[in-house]
A and B are shown apart, each in its own frame.
Chain A
Amino acid sequence: MQNDVTSLQGSAARRPTTMKVFLRRKSTVAFFLALPLIILVTALVIYPALFSMYLATLNKSMERFVGLDNFVFLFKRETFWMVVKQSCLFAVTAVLFKAAIGFMLAHFVHTIPAKGQRKWRGMLLIPWVIPPAMSTLGWFWLFDPTYSALNWIFVRIGMDPVNWLGDPFWARFSVILVNVWYGAPFFLIMYLAALKSVPEQLFEAASIDGANWWQKIWYITLPMMRNIISITVLFSLIVTFSNFDIVRILTSGGPVDQTHVFATWAFNLGIQGNDIPLGASVSLFMLPILGIAAIFILRGVNKRGNEA
């Protein structure tokens, strides 16, 4: 009897406690490893997002709950719809050009022998690694209303100077151009990584079958890169839609609001105009647009993942 009790006690001591089991689980370890990031994301993303949703439901003096009245008000404003149109034009055009230029550059870099490739990769990444506020200031000097360096060249070669930031068309062109210049290297690096993962044998087989370069791109490269293209476009669309610094530094939304995007107009209304709830409502308007885009794009990615 004594022996039985001792052996029972011994086995209980050897058996791990529930807490130990819990702590040893892979999912628990993963959770604790991710905890610092979860805290950061909660503090810097989730809390501000929820707070801005709360702000968007208040009246101008932030003393009264008004539900969705701020959105109803915005929908009646002509300027708001102009900003919606401009934001879409800005984001879609910029992302298309960034994707196209990034794709071409990735192919160009991919064809360079490995020895010299690093230099080219480094040089082409420069626009992306310079803080955008700083590089945009450089662009501002090129486009400066009165002392534009580009116009100086134009005049010297007999061309008329361009009113880069004062004319609505050229102002929109300028902000999109700077965004493309800044963002194309991101596409380049992502596409280059994707290109390197395409098996070389596929191209060799296609060459034996007599495929030309276009057929290789259309039937091999693009299908193999579809997922990375989708995710890159989605990511860039989100970042471009919420762009602030380029427009703010180059035009501040002018002339006559014709280069405002959601973020700059929200700042203008919320901070400079002291209507924080309305500014929060403008910035939140991006959420459903990007949410819908994300659903469609990620659904495509998942579908292709399952097929694979």
Chain B
Amino acid sequence: MALNMKFSRRRLLAGAASASALSLTSPFIRTAHAAGNLSIGFWDHWVPGANDSLTKLCKEWGEKEKVNVKIDYITSQGSKLQLTAVAEAQAKSGHDILQLTSWDAPNQAKNLVPMDDIVNAAIKKNGNTTDVVQYLGKVNGSWIGVPATNGSQVKGPCGRMDLLAKHAGLDVVKMYPGVNGKPDKALQDQWTWDAFLSAAEKCHKGGNPFGLGLGQTTDSVDWVGALFAAYGAVLVDAKGNITVNSDATKQVLEYMQRLVKVIPADVFAWDDASNNKYLISGQGSLIMNPPSAWAVAVRDNLKVAEQCWTFPSPKGPKGRFAPGLPYFWGTWKWSKNISAAKSLLAHLSDRDSIEKMVIGSGGYDIPGYSNLRDFKTWAEVGPPVGVSYNYPPRGEEIVSIAAAPAPVAIAQQIYAQATMTKMIAKCTQGGDSVAKAIGWASSELEGFMRT
């Protein structure tokens, strides 16, 4: 029997394409063959020591799997992490695993390896992901990144117990106690954005205003996004229709016209460090931030740190929204070691690994899975003990990101251009009417519709 095998160019290409498709679509099986080198670009954590926990986890995995792991910690200062993602996508080269900021994950979807096998397995173990994680991490029904624990955060209020009690009569510990306390449900129900405004007015009068940034950086955009969401003020809906001209938007802008009068005049120039400094200096009575401000206060001004307490955002007519900023771990389609990358990401999505990251970050990191809100760190960290117990969103809190539910390509423009805080600046500092600010935003949003 003569073996007659003729290799045409077409047959070779077809074979290669089938092999590639098979490697991309076949379920991941953790084998002893996941070896070689693995280069990783992780976000450089604000919290000192947090990177060490992650390095340790990766090294342990590398030794077990016989993979040589090389980690670069890339700062998000000056948008360097975003720049790295864009540069690697353009060059079609770079790290095997790259940490992606909230919007970069969906933006790079076409360049990323689908992670359904890893994320679906993690969901089975850790519970479902939050809505905001799904909004950003799932494109056309497929997971394009693995929800990252390191760096993912929410920006609820971090207030001074003493000043809030003294000026506004607000007992935040009674309202949201630590692990062993009994929450005061009535007080929680009264914790609305109207109550927030009233407390802000009283604290301003008492000489310790709330420190709420209204600049163009993420801290400002995030808390304002939660306020808009709480009132149901949506700039662009999920279908891509411009819906900014609504009663809800007018309500928010009128609300802000009152709030701006009782916060520092320079908030329009604040960056992400300004609110932290305002709290740590002892001037401010409340900021909207992850516990990093408190962590720095422990180091720099212990008296302030001892009076800090983190608790959920106020409630609006549409619910209690926590300003969230989830990160993702992604693997480029051109990565040379996709198998090892997936193996490591599966390892980092284990409950034990996630808990180690949360401990390493002093409770700063918020896992993207709903069942992982019970780690001891949040209950134990202090002083004061329990300061971060209410930091991870639980119960009625809805984690959201500013500009959602607009289609991601439009939402990112709204977020990056800080359209919401600019609207507020226009109708407060700028002296424009609410209607004019909305008209300006409509025109901006039309520009964001480009495809």
Interface residues of A (CB under 8 A from B): 59-61, 73, 77-79, 144-147, 163-166, 171, 248, 251-257, 267-269, 271-276, 278
Contacts and interface: CB of A to CB of B under 8 A. Distances in A.
B425 A256 contact: yes
Contacts of B271: 252
Decide if the interface of chain A is mainly helix, strand, loop or mixed: loop
B431 to A, nearest CB: 11
Interface in B258-296: 264-271, 274, 277-278, 281, 283
13 contacts: A59-B451, A60-B450, A79-B447, A145-B264, A145-B267, A146-B266, A146-B274, A163-B269, A165-B266, A254-B215, A255-B268, A256-B268, A273-B412
B79 interface: yes
B409 A60 contact: yes
B135 to A, nearest CB: 16
Nearest to A162: B266
B265 A163 contact: yes
Interface in B70-97: 78-79, 82-83, 86
Given A146-B264, A146-B277, A257 B422 contact: yes
Interface in B200-256: 215-217
B369 interface: no
B451 A61 contact: yes
Q: Which of A144, A146, A165, A257 has the most CB of B within 10 A?
A: A146
B371 to A, nearest CB: 32
B416 interface: yes
A17 B422 CA distance: 73
A253 B266 contact: no
B378 interface: no
Best-surrounded residue of B104, B267, B425 (most CB of chain A within 10 A):
B425
A274 B103 contact: yes
B429 interface: yes
B417 A268 contact: yes
Nearest to A272: B416
A59 B449 CA distance: 12
Contacts of B264: 145-146
Nearest to A277: B450
B444 interface: yes
A274 B415 CA distance: 11
B142 to A, nearest CB: 18
B409 A253 contact: no
B413 interface: yes
B443 interface: yes
A145 B266 contact: yes
Nearest to B413: A273
Given A251-B269, A268-B416, A73 B215 contact: no
Closest 3 CB pairs of A and B: A166-B269, A145-B266, A165-B269
Contact of A252 (B86, B217, B265, B278): B217
Nearest to B444: A79
Interface string B394-427: 0000000000000001001100110000100110
A257 B270 CA distance: 14
Given A145-B274, A271-B79, A272-B82, A255 B269 contact: yes
B107 interface: yes
Contact of B412 (A144, A166, A274, A276): A274
B27 interface: no
Contact of B450 (A163, A268, A276, A278): A278
Nearest to A265: B417
Given A164-B269, A274-B103, 17 more contacts: A59-B450, A59-B451, A61-B451, A73-B447, A77-B447, A145-B267, A147-B281, A251-B269, A255-B268, A256-B422, A267-B79, A268-B416, A271-B82, A273-B413, A274-B412, A274-B416, A278-B450
A73 B413 CA distance: 15
B127 interface: no
Contacts of A165: 266, 269
Contacts of B217: 252
Contacts of A274: 86, 103-104, 107, 409, 412, 416
A278 B443 CA distance: 17
B266 A273 contact: no
B430 interface: yes
Contact of B269 (A145, A269, A278): A145
A194 to B, nearest CB: 37
Contacts of B429: 166, 255
A249 to B, nearest CB: 9
A252 B412 contact: no
B79 A272 contact: yes
A166 B266 contact: yes
Most buried by B among A248, A253, A254: A254
A260 B115 CA distance: 39
A267 B83 CA distance: 10
A166 B444 CA distance: 22
Given A78-B443, A79-B444, A274-B107, A166 B422 contact: no
A278 B416 CA distance: 14
Nearest to A170: B269
A188 B278 CA distance: 41
Contacts of B283: 146
Contacts of A254: 215-216, 268-269
B311 to A, nearest CB: 24
A254 B421 CA distance: 11
Contacts of B265: 163, 166
B270 to A, nearest CB: 6
B216 A252 contact: yes
A53 B190 CA distance: 57
Question: A59, A165, A171 — which one has the most chain B CB atoms within 10 A of its CB?
Answer: A165
B176 to A, nearest CB: 28
Most buried by A among B266, B269, B278, B425: B269
B103 to A, nearest CB: 7
B86 A276 contact: yes
Contacts of A251: 269
A59 B409 CA distance: 13
Contacts of A145: 264, 266-267, 269-270, 274
Contacts of A59: 450-451
B422 to A, nearest CB: 5
Contacts of A257: 422
A166 B409 contact: no
Contacts of A272: 79, 82, 416
Contacts of A275: 413, 450
A260 to B, nearest CB: 10
A47 to B, nearest CB: 13
Nearest to A147: B277
